Homo-oligomer: A and B are copies of this chain.
Amino acid sequence: MCPPADQTNGVTKDEMVPIDNSNTPHIPPPTNETNGKSEPPPVKSHKGVYGRASDFLSNTSNWKIIESTLREGEQFANAFFTLEKKIEIAKMLDEFGVEYIELTSPAASPESRAHCEAICKLGLKRTKILTHIRCHMDDARLAVETGVDGVDVVIGTSSFLREHSHGKDMTWITKTAIEVIEFVKSKGIEIRFSSEDSFRSELVDLLSIYRTVDKIGVNRVGVADTVGCADPRQVYDLVRTLRGVVSCDIETHFHNDTGCAIANAYAALEAGATHVDTSVLGIGERNGITPLGGLIARMMVADPEYVKSKYNLSMLREIENCVAEAVEISVPFNNYITGFCAFTHKAGIHAKAILANPSTYEILNPADFGMTRYVSIGHRLTGWNAVRSRVDQLNLNLTDDQVKDATAKIKELADVRTQSMEDVDMILRIYHTGIHSGELKVGQSAVLDKLLDKHMPSRETSPSRANGANGTPAKRPRVEETA
C-alpha cells in the first residue's frame, strides 16, 4: 500500500506561515476587458487581458489523457512494477478520472501478458485500457486476446529509425500498417496508428501514411517526439497541418529531454490535437515524458472549470507518492503543484501582495488540489506585511508601526541566520509583552535585545555562534522529501 497523502511532503514548516486566504479568494483583475462575464474564475482572468482570438480548432477545453505510467513509465530506468502495484496504480488513475491507461505490450514477456490480462479483468469504472505494440501481426494477435479496449500501434518512420532500427521502407510500413489495423478493427476494439520520431520524419511521407490509415478508419493517429527535440512552434505547425489531412482524433506523445514536453502538449492541443500521453511524474525512457501533474497545471490556466469537472485533482499527490515509492525516487523539489515549495512565497513584496490577493503572484489556486499556501517569513528578504499576518494569527495586539519595528529586528537576526517559525513567534510575543508592559517602545532596538537575551537565552545571534567553522549556517531549514 502507498503511504497516506502527506500534506507537507516532509518539508519542515519551521519558518513558514500557513496563510488562510479563505476570505480573500482569487479576485478577478480590475480591468475593463473581462467582457462582463459573470465572475470568471481567477486563473482564467488573464485571458481577457492578454489572450488570443478564439480558434475553433483549438482543443484546450476539450481533450483526453492517455496515461502511460504502466507502459512508458515501465521503460523508466528504475521501474519494476509487480502486478499488485500495477493494479493499485490502475485503480487510482481510474478514480482520478483519466480516460485511458496504456499498458506494456503483451509481446514483451509472458509476465507482461499476464499483467495486461489481469488489469483488463479489474472492471475499471471509467478508464479504458490500451496496450502499445509494434506494427506487427504477431504482436497484434496477442494484444486483441488480452481483453483490452484498444490497441496503440507504433512504427518508426524517420530516416534514422528506418535505417538503424527496423530497416523497412515506407511501402512496407504502409502495407503492414493496413494489415494490422484491419485485423484489430475486425475485433471491434479501438485502434491508433502512430509514427515514431515524427519530428525527424519526412513531412510528405508522414502525411501520406496518416491519410491512408485515416481512410481505413483508425480511431486516432499519433504524433510522437521520441527523442525530445521538438519545440512548440514545430509542434503547432505539424499538428495544424495534420488536422487538415485527417478526420480522426490526434494523439500526441512528447519526451522531455529539452524541457518542452508540457509546452509541446499544450501547443498540440491548441493546434487541434485531442489526446495527450502522460505518465505520473513524467517517468519514462531517459528523463521521461509530459508529466500528468504538469499537464494538469498547464491546462488549469486554459480552462480550470473543464479540468476540475473531469479529474479528481486532490488525488494527484497521493498518486505521485505511490508511483515515486514504487520506483524509488523522490518527488522533485520543484514538482508542479505538489512540490514542497510550489505555493511558498518568500520575497517581501510577494508576501505583501499575496496577502491582499493571492492572484497577484499565483496562477493556480492551491485549494483546487487540496494544497495550502505558505508565506515564508523568518529570512532576510521578509517584509512587514507577512509579519503583520503572523501577528494577527497569534492574536497579538500591535500597531503597524510596532509590527514594522519588530520586523526590523527579525530581519536583523535573519541576516545572520534564517529564523525558525518558533523563533519568530517568540520574538513577536516578547515584543508584544514588552510594549504592553511599558518596558519597550518603538525604535528601542537595544532594549529589545536585552528582553530577547533575557527570555530567549539559548538563541543564537552572533555570526560566530550561528555559523559553523566552515562558514555554513549552523541551522538551516531542512527538506526531507518523501518518496
A contact residues vs B (CB 8 Å cutoff): 1, 11, 16, 29-31, 43, 45-46, 49-52, 74-78, 80, 82-85, 104, 108-112, 134, 156, 158-161, 163-165, 197, 199-203, 226-229, 231-234, 236-238, 256-264, 266-267, 270, 281-283, 285-288, 291, 294-295, 297-298, 300-301, 326, 328-330, 332-336, 339-350, 352-353, 356-357, 359-364, 374, 376, 379-381, 411-412, 414-418, 467, 470-473, 476-479, 481
Chain B nearest CB, measured from A228 CB (Å): 6
CA distance A202 to B33 in the complex (A): 9
What's the minimum C-beta distance from A8 to chain B, rounded to whole angstroms? Answer: 12
CA distance A479 to B476 in the complex (A): 25
The answer to whether B108 touches A287 (Cβ under 8 A) is no
- B347 lies within 8 A of A75 (CB): yes
Are A30 and B163 in touch, CB under 8 angstroms?
A: yes
Q: Distance in Å from the Cβ of A108 to the closest Cβ of chain B?
A: 5
Closest 4 CB pairs of A and B: A259-B262, A263-B263, A332-B332, A84-B471
Tell me, rounded to whole Å, the shortest Cβ–Cβ distance linking A246 to chain B. Answer: 18
Q: Is the CB of B78 within 8 A of A479?
A: yes
Decide: A359 and B160 in contact? CB cutoff 8 A.
Answer: yes
Give the number of times this chain occurs in the complex, counting copies: 2
Best-buried of A49, A78, A374, A417 by chain B (most CB within 10 Å): A78
Q: Which residue of B lies closest to A231 (CB)?
A: B266
Option from B1, B238, B260, B356 in Cβ contact (under 8 Å) with A262 = B260
User: CA–CA, A376 to B78, complex, Å?
Assistant: 10
Given contacts A30-B159, A43-B229, 20 further A-B contacts (CB under 8 A): A29-B200, A31-B159, A46-B229, A49-B159, A77-B341, A80-B379, A161-B353, A165-B352, A165-B360, A258-B294, A258-B364, A259-B297, A260-B298, A263-B264, A286-B361, A287-B339, A326-B472, A328-B476, A330-B332, A332-B332
For A332, give the chain B residue with the smallest CB separation.
B332
When C-beta atoms are compared, the residue in chain B nearest to A302 turns out to be B231
Rounded to whole angstroms, the CA-CA distance of A334 and B108 in the bound complex is 25
